[in-house]
Amino acid sequence: MPMDSKDRNVKKNKNFITSVEFAVTGVKTVFKEERNMRKHVAIGILAVLAGLFFGLNQMEWLWLLLAVFLVWIVEVINTVFENVVDMVTDCHFHPIGKKVKDMAAGAVLLTSGFALVVGLILFLPKIWFWFF
């Protein structure tokens, strides 16, 4: 979406509240426009609910929340890269743009893999104990 002159900030980060409002708008935009972000948030919420169900200890909570938030953060960064590439290329194919998008998507894949491993380490023993 193009910005006209009235949308631009003349001064950077006029105050803390304004900065927070811009940041919240950014998070809302990613959630609204990116299907994968909505999936990551849903899975993250399920993981937190599983943590509550299984009564994770403090260290386990730290690992779980690190994994969940890393996936969310990297998905936001991936979306930034995708939007910048689209803006620069005017949404036309460019081989370097494709490389940038692929690498950013790869970062999400790696982070999601990390989160999966953390989830398996945290929950498999608890599930095993619960059933056996």
Residues marked active site are found at 75
Burial 12-46 (b: 16+ CB within 10 A, else e): eeeeeeeeeeeeeeeeeebeeebeebeebbebbee
Q: Rounded to the nearest 10 degrees, how much is the dihedral formed by the CA atoms of 123, 70, 63, 117? A: 40
**DSSP helix, strand, coil percent of the chain (3-state; round to 5):** 85, 0, 15
